[in-house]
Amino acid sequence: MLTQLKVEDFLDVLASDAPAPGGGSIAALNGAMAAGLVSMVCRLSRGRKGLEQYAGVLAETLEKAQACQALLTSLVDEDTEAFNQVMAAFKMPKASDDEKAARSQAIQKAFAQAVNTPLKTAETCARVLELARGILGKFNPNTASDLGVSAQCAEAGLNGALMNVAINLPSLKDKDFVQTIEQKQTQIKAQAAAAKAQVDEEVKKAL
């Protein structure tokens, strides 16, 4: 598993000529780091003088951020596996009509997963941005830069994930499915942009 590698080993694999891990896994990793920073900000804000009244919000946000981190960490490997499934489907035999049909079906199934996985990453990154927005005015001001970096990482993860959705989407033949995914992308972008703008504004004031 990629997430079990040392950082240096992970980077070596990433920089190699292996086609995976690629951008989708890195998008998920960015999101996981963003969630981790939100957790850190919550921990460094709980119990701080002047912030006692926000203990409940911070505890709830911490729990949700940890869940996002766990999900995004799993998506690092899931994205690479989705890519591998696409490659495996293309290598299936196609000598007979039955083999061609089975191969085509497998390719479509693999591409659907290669779309759904980064979409899940994008949705979770947007959730991390919402969590960051939810603690504005309630966090330790000394961690303002950390919250700002979290938002930057979450946005990078989200945008990177949507690029991976976009590159795989044209390979799908199910037009209704494609339309549904496109609508979800639009919603995610709008939600994330609003949250990111508010976090950026508040962080700049605190710096």
CATH of the domain at 117: 1.20.120.680
- Does residue 15 lie in a domain region? no
Q: How many residues does the chain have?
A: 207
Read off the tokens for 171. Answer: 């390979």
- Does residue 6 lie in a domain region? no
Question: Mean of the per-residue pLDDT values for the chain?
Answer: 95
- Domain span including residue 88: 21-206
- Does residue 50 lie in a domain region? yes
pLDDT at 87: 95
Q: What is the pLDDT of residues 68-97, one digit of tens each?
A: 999 999 999 999 999 999 999 999 999 999
- Does residue 141 lie in a domain region? yes
Q: What is the pLDDT of residues 4-37, one digit of tens each?
A: 899 999 999 999 998 878 999 999 999 999 999 9
Residue 180 — pLDDT band, cuts 50, 70, 90? very high
- Does residue 76 lie in a domain region? yes
Number of domains in the chain: 1
- Does residue 71 lie in a domain region? yes
- Claim: this prediction has a pTM higher than 0.85: yes
State the SS3 of 4-70: HCCHHHHHHHHHCCCCCCCHHHHHHHHHHHHHHHHHHHHHHHCCCCCCHHHHHHHHHHHHHHHHHHH
